[in-house]
């Protein structure tokens, strides 16, 4: 969904999935450490793109292909969506005794 929203912010019109299940990957997880690192890097590059847009765009500009939505609104949606999933990750790690991180977390 981050990629979907970024494409709207950049003036493109991404294809909306027919339903939510179509937006989930078919694989249950990365097939290798390299694949996992690639997914992480893609996500972080998207976060960097969102920050760059937030710093340079006219935030009250309406989006061409997302009626009634502004760039600020979609950036807020990216932040809240990513925060929601980060919370899920932290909760699961706490359940499995893997949180806080061994180094204590940020700032280290």
Per-residue pLDDT of 31-90, as tens digits, reads 999 999 999 999 999 999 999 999 999 999 999 999 999 999 999 999 999 999 999 999
Say how many C-beta atoms besides its own lie within 10 A of residue 4's C-beta.
15
Separation of alpha carbons 71 and 58, rounded Å: 7
pTM over cut 0.75? yes
CA dist 71 and 74 (Å) reads: 5
């Amino acid at each position: 969904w981050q990629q979907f929203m970024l494409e709207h912010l950049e003036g493109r019109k991404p294809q909306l999935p027919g339903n939510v299940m179509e937006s989930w990957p078919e694989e249950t997880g990365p097939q290798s450490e390299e694949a996992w690192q690639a997914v992480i890097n893609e996500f972080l590059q998207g976060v960097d793109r969102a920050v760059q847009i937030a710093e340079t765009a006219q935030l009250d500009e309406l989006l061409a292909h997302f009626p009634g939505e502004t760039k600020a609104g979609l950036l807020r949606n990216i932040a809240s969506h990513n925060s929601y999933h980060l919370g899920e990750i932290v909760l699961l790690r706490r359940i499995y005794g893997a949180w806080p991180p061994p180094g204590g977390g940020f700032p280290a």
